[in-house]
Structure 1
Amino acid sequence: MSAPRRIAVVGAGAAGLHTVEALRRAGYDGRLTLIGAEDAPPYDRPPLSKHLLSGQWQPDRLTLRDPRALDELRLDLRLGVPAQRLDRHTRTIHLADGRRVPCDAVVIATGVRPRRLPGADTPLAGAHVLRTLADALALREDLRTGGRLLVVGGGLLGAEAAATAVGLGAEVTWLVSTDTPLAAVLGTETAALLTGLHREHGVRIHRGAAATGLLHRNGRATGVRLADGTDLAADTVLMAVGSEPATDWLADSGLRLEGGLVCDAHCAASPGVWAAGDAASWPDPHTGRHRRLEQRTNATEQALHAARNLLAGPDGTLQAYTPVPYLWTDQYGLRVQAYGRPGAADRFEPVDGSVAEHRFAAACVRDGRVVGAVGIGAARALRGLRAQVAAHSPWPPDPPRPPAE
């Protein structure tokens, strides 16, 4: 197969933007189309639940590249028009406006979409998800008057939104299903620290029964009903109940869709079709099982990897994608950073600082191997653990060898 002269990237978020930039930096000078479902040019999502929701930032500060930088990429930029179908055999992308984009290769970077509670199938005032710029601005408007906010979902998004909202003066209830929310992501010790901070700042944490549906009256959300039959009342409801890959438009493409767009170790889903970012599922180098990462750093790193392998061609040397997962979260003035899978550990081994002082770095160990690292305010020590996470090194580490005499 000859080198592609027409490449289309579907998804204009961080993964899509970094893909087109990597292609141009590598010398690709053919037609390059970037397709995005939202009207806005590529912007950063992590600040939505923090800086933008709080009002500290305005939307223009989230933009990843200014118009001049986008112009320099020489893109066929299609914003505000979702992709509806991919004909894999003719390499044609069908858009919602009826137009078609033929290409020699395509990179899927469509990310995820938020799940909603039963009863939220039609728009309701006061019922929100938080994925897009428009979502964040709508929730921010509802929080301007304070009132009662119910955050449903015990993940990072729910935690960040709860912390931001209570800082705005809202009366916040956080509905979670586990005793220590975030433990599966950050490990029990770090999650317990953050849970305590939420309580100290006035967040009411409601554990136990899951929400089974959204309550509403006269076109406005009024709370949720729980599995035990009780109701929780609220003026505003944020549904932070997880997400699913935005791959439904690929349903009849013949591509394998199982918890994401299934790829090989090189980020290829099929000949001429690649994937990067939240929607991509590829084999974990340690377990062999397919996994997805909904992490900002992964969106960037996997985009660069997919672009490199795409340009290598079928006869080139392809590189396996073997990332060290990395995430961060900002809550109550603290930045928590984590590598690997701290939530999978059975031992928490501090190497610097103190959890009680809210400044520490720790190795997260399972079956005698380092599977993750987590820390607050100890970035240098935490970075020192990254290589051990990548290698699944034994713990405790081997003592340094004495110098040769």
Structure 2
Amino acid sequence: MDDRAVLPVLPVHPVPADLERRPDPYPWLNHLRTEGPVQRIRLRDGSDAWMVTRHSDVLAAAGDPRLSSDPRRLTAQPGRSTRIAGGNALPSMLTTDAPDHTRLRRLVSRAFTARRVETLRPRVRDLARELLDPIVPRGHADLVAEFAFPLPVAVICELLGVPFADRAYFSRQSSDLLRPPVDAAAIALADAARGRLRDYLADLVASKRTGRADDLLSDLVAAGEEQRLTDEELISMALLLLVAGHETTVNLIGTGVWLLLQRPAHLEALRTDPQLLPSAVEEFLRFDGPVMTGVARYTTTDVEIGGITIAADQIVILSTGAANRDPQRFERPDEVRFDRADNPHVAFGHGPHFCLGAALARVEAVEGIGAVLRRLPGLTAATAPDSLRWRPSVLRGLQELPVTFDPRSAR
């Protein structure tokens, strides 16, 4: 007699094409979690996958070695996107497992320790002041284009040794690279952007070989010459640091200010007591963080998650957005609360792939949002919530944030 468990037949939930651009995408994620901790989904490129929605399961899965971060582990199957299966995967920290992941992460981890990042705080504060100086007398601004974007871009450019003058070019390419794969045109656009960025960084790496500087990219070039990095790994590492080093923080700052504009009492609380800013940033990350849909993993063997056995060779999405709104872990999860003494959100991931730039993102968000609140009195949104544009990206963030304020008392 066959005593194997009979697994339930679960419905397939297609991921909405506009999920990240919805004013409130969380009802969809909350519905999936209510249906069960693990659900079948269809990704926007047509691939079938599983989504893990409960906080405790996301934590456990993020540290489970049976779930690989390398899409090349997947066997090519009829109907499965070669893009998902690793046809265009880059050998970076995001898409490798130990020991390669450990080796690559070790090469840059010293630049992103909390202590090292703390030494950057005065420079971040200066950059925030320089960006706001021309805005203050006007009484109006687009805080995404004029502040939330250039602040982290300037920081990562200085850290890596990338010319700040090229920011518009690599911003366009990284935006195209991160477009959701909703159709063949979007996939082609992303692949073309990836190629252009790799060419740009290959040229920059070549220039660092002939003229070293005191920056992280020069350090990585030196490491490559010691044969710890292949050329492909070096360029892929630079690409990851450049794109991830500014895209998520742009969104964190923009969304954080937007959340405050919708909650005047919260905004005034931060103005009255700036010491609340670090806990406020943690709450912004939990409530509506940039990596909202989740991160991908790939099963190397049968794995049981949340009472469901997922077979080998499957895509698993660990939904950070659903986990961060899990009522079993967070009291009143759909409210923004700065008094959460216990806020173990997974906006930066968990386990071996915990975000290397978490400390830097926190410093930039605290200093950036703090500067906006301090220098722009009477800050008010200049557009209605339902007309605000969100970015067409796999990351969650605002395309724009038009605001007005009182220039007479601004400083």
Q: Which has the bigger relative contact order, CA under 8 A and spacing at least 6?
A: 2
**Structure number having the greater helix percentage:** 2
Structure-2-length-normalised TM-score = 0.24
TM-score normalised by the chain length of structure 1: 0.24
Name whichever structure is richer in strand by fraction. 1
Higher Rg: 1
